Structure 1
Amino acid sequence: MSTTNFTREAWLHLYRALIRQCSYLPDPIARVQMQAYILDRFRRSAAEEKELPLLRQQALRKSALSELSLLNRANDGYIKPLEKVLHLAYGRRGKRRHDLIEAFIPPAKKGAHPVTDFSDGWEPPSHMVALLKAQNHNAMITLLNAGLYVKETTPSIPSENIWGKPLSESRRMNIRSRWYTKARGNMFPPLPDKELKLLEGLILGTTPWTPPKRRKPVETSPTHVDSDINLALFLEKGPQKGDTFEKYADGRPHIITRRFMQRLWKRLSCLIPRVKWDTKTRKPIFSWDVIHRGPKLAVLLEEDLASEIFGGVDAAGKKIKDDKPQIEDSQSN
């Protein structure tokens, strides 16, 4: 571990590498959001102090290298890293999810904490409770292993404690505060309409999309030094085994095509609620996308064609019996 501060050139090299990987991302919103996130991180770190302490620099460098590895693997077509980047960009996790929650449940006063008073009489926002209820009925969250779940849509406060005495006011306030913090941390907030339409266009294929072009790495020819090192390793440890699938144990790279991205976009779409406001009750109605939709059970037919198909069948779907007596053949065999 280095005992000297990192140079400005080293930070600039790391910043350019991160921005370059962001430009290779196959999703248009992810490119913009991840670039803005990295730029904000570097600006905030530069504004802290002119010379950051060594431990702080090491922590920031470790975080930046982790982000660079994530972006690099996402651009190589690894499914889990690419899904994580999409979730970060579309606000299904990370800082942007908290920003979308702040927009969905704004504080009472500008610049203030959303809720500071949890005394008796406090109730959670109605649209927050409605979203939690709709989220609990969305089976795709569990199927996709999103990990966010709130069992209780409202704080459950017992009337008595373990000694059979009424619950104190401070205890009731703490229960409401913990529930509110947990509920806010496990919400899937709605996405802005502009980004939602763009995502739906990418899924349906109506929005044009082309895979980003990556800069080809510079190929270096092997030198005599490398051959001497390989010879030394061979004489010391003997012949080595060939390539194995060990590096693909946690996934393998994929060629990023539109079909490959449509599957990921569809999975992401299942975690984004659609909001419609009821004009009568003035309450939001949430709906969710699904990966596979069932077949249509109804077909539109013309009236003349329908009478021919369903002729001789009653409303219950049973065949109408003919009441006319049948003429029996009087001749016996």
Structure 2
Amino acid sequence: MAIPQPQHWVHNLSTPKQWRHLFRATLRECTYLPDPIARNYMKNHIISRYRTVSSRSPKAGPQVVHAARNALSVLRRANEGYSRPLEKVLLLSYGRTGRRRHELLAKMLTPEIPNDSKALKELLSQPADFSDGWEPPAIVKNLAASQMQNTVVTAARIRPLIKQLEPPIPKQDSWGKELAKCRKKNIRRQWYSNTLCSLLPPLPEKDLRTLEGLLSGTVPWGPVKRRDSKPQVSSTESSGELFRLLARGPEKGTTFAEYANGRPHSITIRLMRRQWRRLSALVPRQYWNPISQKWRFLWDSPKEIPRLSFDLDSSIDPEAFFKESIQAKEDKTEAHQPSQ
């Protein structure tokens, strides 16, 4: 039995002119995004998707049409200030979800090229993937352990939760016998696939500096000015009150129907910094620990933590600074004492 499709899936874009209008409208919305990284990424992503579909088949089906119109709708609502579409675009652009997350994971898991014959022999002597004695890459285990301990990432739930750091291989099967090797291999493969599906990879250094600069204010930011659209004259303006009553029905009062899926916000620096702060808490900072000889990961806080200490200027002598402050306080106390 065929599954009934939504009504707007039926209306395909039959002519190249219609596709061109939709493509240009989508690219135009990409230029209005309030985040610089999102503007560049979404533009390249839209161009890549349209080229892939056009090279695959000359005539697109209803699902492709629905995906194209849905992308335009998400971008428009993100530019209007709806929280969920804006968050979705930012998560896609910063590699927390979607295609870019897979690209960052693949870059992180790229094996190092052996420098000499000894390193090559060690690489060849390792057991095959997911067989007995196989171990996942150390960076995967370290990132999974760090992400599993982070309560902010766990509460965000943008990725499936990491439940175990080791593949759950039982000692015996349901008949009390030793588990078969093929079954162990499948369990390791499934566990590794689920772990990769849950990981949040670190950002490239350039994008991370941009994100931190937007948070601190060192990278300038301003709302993008939209191009003025042509005023559209409604066809019902020339008609009378009777026609509007028959076409639209009686006028209703103020309702919340238009805010059922959220309400738009004015895109300000305050709103964007909240979004960037939440996004920064989902980006691990990767560094090499020379003592343990392992990769370590640090996570930012979703809320700004007040500083309890400040750095003094290097030209100021701390001892002289505090000595002058204490001397001024003593002089002030002596001045307020009553003379006998």
The TM tier, using the shorter chain, reads: 0.7 to 0.9
The count of residues paired between Structure 1 and Structure 2 equals 296
Moved over 4 A (4+): 1-5, 235-238, 293-305
Considering only CA atoms, is the larger Rg found in Structure 1 or Structure 2?
Answer: 1
1:311 maps to what in 2?
none
**Which consecutive residues of structure 1, in runs of 5 or more, have no partner in the other structure?**
110-114, 309-333
Cα shift readout 1:230-279 (whole Å, capped 9, x = no counterpart): 62352588632123122112211111111110000000000000001012
Alignment of 1:191 onto 2:195: no
Aligned pair partner of 2:56 in 38, 43, 48? 48
Which of 78, 90, 93 in structure 2 is aligned with 1:89?
A: 93
Are residues 1:117 and 2:129 paired? yes
Distance 1:207-1:241 versus aligned 2 partners, 3 A rule: same
Q: Residue 252 of structure 2 is aligned with which of 241, 245, 251? A: 241
Structure 1 residue 282: Cα displacement: 2.6
Which of 11, 25, 29 is the equivalent residue of 1:17? 25
Match of 1:221 in 2: 233
Which amino acid counterpart does residue 195 of structure 2 have in structure 1? A
Counterpart of 1:156? 168
User: Which residue in the other structure is 2:216 paired with?
Assistant: 204
TM-score normalized by structure 1? 0.81
Tell me the residue number matched to 2:120: none
Q: Which shifted more, 278-287 or 191-200?
A: 278-287
2:288 pairs with one of 274, 277, 283: 277
Structure 2 residues without counterparts, runs of 5 or longer = 1-8, 114-126, 312-317, 327-340
1:148 Cα deviation after fit: 3.1
Matched, 1:6 2:14: yes
Q: Per the alignment, do residues 229 and 158 of structure 1 end up closer, same or farther by CA in structure 2, a change over 3 Å counting?
A: farther
Which of the residues 51, 59, 63 maps onto 2:63? 59
Q: Displacement of 1:280 after TM fit?
A: 3.5
Q: Distance in 1 between matches of 2:195 and 2:272?
A: 31
State how far apart, in whole Å, the 2-side matches of 1:41 and 1:16 are: 13
> 291-300 vs 63-72, which deviates more?
291-300
Cα RMSD, aligned residues only: 2.6
Which one is further off, 56-65 or 172-181?
56-65
Aligned-partner residue type, residue 32 of structure 1: N
Q: Per the alignment, do residues 72 and 236 of structure 1 end up closer, same or farther by CA in structure 2, a change over 3 Å counting?
A: closer
Partner-residue secondary structure (3-state), 1:228: coil
8 Å CA contact 2:12–2:62 kept in 1: the answer is no
Using the TM superposition, name which of 88-97 and 285-294 deviates more.
285-294
User: 1:124 touches 1:154 (CA, 8 Å); kept in 2?
Assistant: no
Percent sequence identity over matched residues? 42
